[in-house]
Amino acid sequence: MTTLVCEARVRTELSSHVIATLCERFMQDDVQATWSATSGRAEFSFGSGILEAGEGAVTLRAEAADEASLARVKFMLAMRFEECAKAEKPDIVWTGDGCDRTELLNFREMHVSRIADITPHLRRITLTGQDLGRFDSQNFHVKLLIPPLGQKPAWPVMGRNGLPIWPEGERRPTVRTYTIRRVDATAGELDIDFVMHEDAGPGAAFALRAKEKDVVGLMGPGGRGMAAADWYCLVGDETGFPAIARMLEAMPATARGVALVEVSDASEEQAIQHPPGIFLRFLHRNGAEPGTTTLLQDAVRAVEWPSGGSMFAWAGVEFEAFRAIRSHWRKDMKLDRSSHLAVAYWRRGFNEGDFKKAPAED
């Protein structure tokens, strides 16, 4: 199998510190990383990243089997390196395979084709586009790029550092993170569910005004999906439910476990196909504001776990619930990183732009 390779030599006076900090950050992202004072290596599911310290510099090396995967490795290395050496304002310039391309291989221009209201506060929008095979994976999360009203869409391109260069000024799209609810690569379409609420942010506002043939951009996919296990514990509110629904529908008929979903009331429940051995339970806020109850935390603590076999726990919830649930799984249940994934999908009182400045997944 051919391996594609590219490199970047980045000047820094903090080579050992940067390598250690970067690899530690990868470990927090559930990426296997090893390092010493002079080198480091990160093994992604899609390729490898290698770091070598030199005289006043660090050499980054990205390796992968195809150009799309190579671009992902370059992105991860460059993004984390810039975070770790922010004060030095590192100048990253890649050379090698695929470095003459300016288009983002993980980007697709999409068009609205169908709109359906699934519950009183959930709107499903079907988007159509070309070459959607990469989105049919266990990675559920995508970046939705919403053009400003009345502006012709302008999309990001690939920079020399492997990171997107965004349009400036009024034409810059607003970016929000969503979960793919369904994808049919053969038909060239996918579904995204939007929670509709009174203080609509950019994503919900787009869904509210959307009409057929409207144009949006899509980047991804990302995130980490469901691991194979004998028993599952899936937890989420309305924002995490699309991912839970996909996981339930993809499980083998023999799967066992529990799925806990918080919604406003009975009108927001959905009939989801799931294995008979999975207990799907909806928890109702009954007038309480999202993110203000402990319904999910309490339900998670009350779960009876099996005494043997492999287990996998997943949560996509508000930030405070995320912290409590993750702490319970790690400290009380002693689950290792490969056996659980907790993600803060949102934080009460913050928009996504402010909230995402700090890592929410660990």
- Residue range 41-56: mean pLDDT, rounded: 94
* Per-residue pLDDT at 138: 87
Residues 271-325: tens digit of each pLDDT = 999 999 999 999 999 999 999 999 999 999 999 999 989 999 999 999 999 999 9
Q: How far, in Å, CA of 199 to CA of 338, rounded?
A: 37
pLDDT at 355: 63
In order of their start, the domains of the chain are 4-96 (3.30.310.50), 107-222 (2.40.30.10), 231-355 (3.40.50.80)
Average pLDDT over residues 230-259: 97
Q: What is the pTM of this model?
A: 0.89
List the Cα angle 30/35/39 in 5-degree steps: 130
Task: Check residue 358 and give its pLDDT.
Answer: 41
> What is the distance between the alpha carbons of residues 263 and 269, in angstroms, rounded to a whole number?
7
Structure confidence by residue, pLDDT tens digits, 178-205: 999 999 999 999 999 999 987 778 999 9
Q: Could you tell me the pLDDT band of residue 80, with boundaries at 50, 70 and 90?
A: very high
> Which of these, 129, 290, 319, 316, lies nearest to 196 by C-alpha position?
290
What is the C-alpha to C-alpha distance for residues 176 and 135, in angstroms, rounded to an integer? 17
Find the mean pLDDT for residues 58-76. Answer: 96
Summarised one tens digit per residue, pLDDT across range 151-166 is 889 999 999 999 999 9
CA distances to 42, 281, 346 from 300, rounded to whole Å, are 33, 11, 19
In angstroms, what CA-CA distances link 257 with 176, 231, 280, 357?
31, 5, 9, 34
Q: What is the pLDDT of residues 95-115, one digit of tens each?
A: 999 999 899 999 999 999 999
Share of the chain above pLDDT 70, in %: 97
